[in-house]
């Protein structure tokens, strides 16, 4: 199992991860370290544990907001897919009616054409 070294708040941590996930884990650690730095800039040196908790809560809040957005977008997508299905069904019905009208018109045209030809019986 691959191992990766990450640095968070100036401390190095050795982490195990799945094959090929090393860059992702490093990115997550960098993201979290950035949140801790944001808290440090906003509140000064208030203790590592407190900074970590505040950064974790900030990340959890972002995740919560993103989950809400995803749920909203999934609902909209389902609605759009339902509308698209209904539109497809209606388009199919219109195509069937148009095809039937074209067949009827063609039959009428053929009837008129037969009636205009001398010596033809309908």
Residue-wise pLDDT tens digits, 82-117: 888 888 888 888 888 888 888 888 888 888 888 888
Q: pLDDT band at residue 121, thresholds of 50, 70 and 90?
A: low
Model pLDDT for residues 40-86, shown as the tens digit of each residue: 999 888 888 999 999 999 999 999 999 999 999 999 998 898 888 88
Give the pair of three-digit tokens for residue 101. 């009208």
119: three-class secondary structure by DSSP: coil
CA 110 – CA 105 distance, rounded (Å): 9
**Mean pLDDT, to the nearest integer, of 15-32?**
95
**pTM for the whole structure:** 0.61
């Amino acid at each position: 199992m691959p191992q990766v070294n990450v640095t968070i708040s100036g401390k190095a941590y050795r982490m195990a991860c799945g094959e090929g996930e090393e860059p992702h884990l490093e990115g997550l650690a960098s993201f979290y370290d950035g949140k801790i730095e944001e808290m440090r800039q906003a509140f000064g040196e208030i203790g590592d544990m407190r900074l970590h908790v505040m950064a974790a809560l900030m990340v959890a809040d972002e995740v919560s907001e993103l989950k809400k957005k995803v749920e909203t977008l999934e609902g909209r997508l389902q609605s759009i897919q339902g509308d698209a299905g209904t539109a497809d069904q209606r388009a199919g019905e219109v195509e069937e009616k148009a095809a039937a009208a074209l067949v009827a018109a063609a039959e009428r045209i053929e009837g008129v054409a037969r009636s205009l030809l001398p010596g033809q019986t309908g």
